[in-house]
A and B are shown apart, each in its own frame.
Chain A
Amino acid sequence: MIELDRVAYSYGGAELFSNVSLTLAPGSFQFLTGPSGAGKTTLLKLCYGELVATAGHVRLFGKNVRELQRDDIALSRRNIGVVHQDCQFLDHLSVAENVALPLTVAGRADEASEYLEDLLSWVGLRNQAGQRPPELSGGERQRAALARAVIISPDVIIADEPTGNIDWEMSQRLLKLLVELNRMGKTILLATHDLNLIRQASKMQVQARVLRLMNQRLHVAGVDL
């Protein structure tokens, strides 16, 4: 679905990483780990077309990102749900409106009401629907971000440190939600530096692959960390 072919990226200076190849096969669950600053967020941005690789090729659903127009990338993103490291909400809208935003911008706002309530219950935010994002706790924000990532029912879900600033219990809940999604057939790529989370996933019997970004290269690691 998403394919990185010997990709390199540099923000202008030295290459952050190079020769990175990665395939997100349908229904797969992959962890992306590595030390802070290794370029995990950058790699994910390449996967949803926010950045363009400085070398190599990125293909979204079979199409080379370099050949896509801005609007084509926007359309591709409707099939990739992203939980951003910094959530990226519109603070003047309510939580419910933020969660519904992908449907709204796709001109399918009328479908929102159907899922919205179920979805907010699923992530445990039913009572916070009318609040503004800044009023939420860290864990609530992350769950709202997950709800927004999945509302348009994308095939791929990319989550960047979704458990970054929340407690262990909440992290487990979020992981569980992601595992549920994977069981429903969604392709998951989850960046985290939290190895406990990866161990926890293996207990949930997910067929997860662990990739480690380190020293400018992407390595396949075992689950036995």
Chain B
Amino acid sequence: MIAVIRRYFSMLAGDPLADRSVPPTGFTANLTVFTSGAMAFLAVFALALGLAAGQLADRWASELARTSTLRISAPADQLDAQVAAAVNLLETTPGVASARALDMAEQQALLEPWFGPDLPIDTLPIPRLIEVVEEGAGYDATGLRARLQAEVPGAILDDHTRWREPLVAAADRLRLLSILSIALIATATAAMITLAANAALAANAQVIKVMRLVGARDIYIAGAFVRRFTIRAFGGSAIGALAGTLAVLLLPSSDVAGGFLTGLSFSGASWFAPASIPLLAAVVAFLATRSAALRTLRALS
């Protein structure tokens, strides 16, 4: 296996004299560098998006799944009794770690973003909230609802699945889209490098002919082209990936909003992701040029 890979990539082994045998072609060189640079720039964003979506999906899936909310609406004189009964009931429910009624100050804080600080919360018929934290495999929502209905008529259990599921699905979809984008970027890069390589090969038909006349094997001639394009793609995409990463870092981080954009950055191990883009580009260029070169050499005989 390793021998096969080594043989496959052996044409990358440097031979400056072979590389000089093929004259430099400014147009295809610039095209390759520019294309791989631009594509790497785009790939960084797709990657950042994918990683952020992934983290978000995981966070939502795990954090939100651990908590739920019990809402109790009742006439003012029954409210405290129902809250106490509900907390009691919850504490004896298997799978519930804790149940705690939010106090007025906490409820006020929750409503503040919408109604401002001056809301006279104690005079309004606002439902009371009980925060439920789960443990282990969680509780049996259907059983709990049935018991609540019997004992605390004003209680409504919100286990967050209703709005958690579409969010997780959206984040997963976003992650998929970013993988798809990277695949498309790689394919488009391969296509453009193939075109550039074909142009270079066509422009050098006479050079190829002479090299053959003096006894060059296909793999040797192809190698001269493959090395050149691989190096250009690597260089171009390294610049593009660097620029893309800087652009991602320079995005304003809006922690307050706590929303999606805060996740659009790299940290820890995910730094390896943008760094891998030039390598991916080099592999793509290698494979594209290799097949273009060998195909052309076959046709030119």
Chain A positions near chain B (C-beta within 8 angstroms): 50, 70-71, 74-75, 77-78, 82, 84, 88-90, 92-93, 97, 100-102, 104-107, 109, 148, 152
Contacts and interface: CB of A to CB of B under 8 A. Distances in A.
Interface string B194-225: 00000000000001011111111111100000
Contacts of A102: 214-215
- The size class of the interface chain B forms with chain A is 20 to 34
A90 B207 contact: yes
A89 B210 CA distance: 7
Contacts of A75: 215, 217
B20 interface: yes
Contact of A70 (B210, B214, B218): B218
Contacts of B212: 74, 77
A148 B210 CA distance: 12
B301 interface: yes
Given A93-B20, A104-B18, A104-B21, A77 B210 contact: no
B23 interface: yes
Contacts of A93: 20-21
B217 A101 contact: no
B15 to A, nearest CB: 8
Interface in B116-154: none
Contact of B17 (A50, A70, A104, A148): A104
A123 to B, nearest CB: 17
Nearest to B23: A92
Contacts of B301: 70
A84 B21 contact: no
A101 B23 CA distance: 14
Contacts of A100: 17
28 contacts: A50-B213, A70-B217, A70-B218, A70-B297, A71-B217, A71-B218, A75-B215, A75-B217, A77-B213, A77-B215, A78-B215, A84-B213, A88-B209, A88-B213, A89-B210, A90-B211, A92-B23, A100-B17, A101-B21, A101-B214, A102-B214, A105-B18, A105-B211, A105-B215, A105-B216, A105-B220, A109-B15, A152-B215
A105 B218 contact: no
Nearest to B24: A92
Contacts of A106: 215
B214 A77 contact: yes
Interface string B233-257: 0000000000000000000000000
Contacts of B217: 70-71, 74-75, 105
Contact of B21 (A50, A70, A77, A90): A90
B17 A109 contact: yes
Contacts of B211: 90, 101, 105
Nearest to A48: B213
A160 B5 CA distance: 43
Contact of B214 (A71, A92, A107, A148): A148
Given A70-B218, A74-B212, A105-B21, 14 more contacts: A74-B217, A89-B210, A90-B210, A92-B23, A97-B17, A97-B20, A102-B214, A104-B17, A105-B18, A105-B215, A105-B220, A106-B215, A107-B220, A109-B15
B200 to A, nearest CB: 14
Contacts of B18: 104-105
A133 to B, nearest CB: 11
A101 B219 CA distance: 16
A174 B216 CA distance: 26
A93 B18 CA distance: 11
A4 B297 CA distance: 27
A70 B216 CA distance: 10
Interface string B289-301: 0000000011001
Nearest to B16: A109
A89 to B, nearest CB: 7
Given A90-B21, A101-B21, A105-B18, A74 B210 contact: no
A161 B241 CA distance: 56
Contacts of A148: 214
A191 to B, nearest CB: 16
A105 B19 CA distance: 11
Give the most central of B18, B213, B219, B297: most A CB within 10 Å. B213
A132 to B, nearest CB: 12
Instruction: Give the 3 A-B residue pairs with the shortest CB-CB distance, closest first.
Output: A105-B216, A78-B215, A77-B215
Contacts of A97: 17, 20
Which residue, of B207, B217, B220, B297, has the highest number of chain A Cβ atoms within 10 A? Answer: B217
B220 to A, nearest CB: 6
B21 A74 contact: no
The interface centre, meaning the residue of B20, B209, B213, B215 with most chain A CB atoms within 10 A of its CB, is B215
Nearest to B211: A105
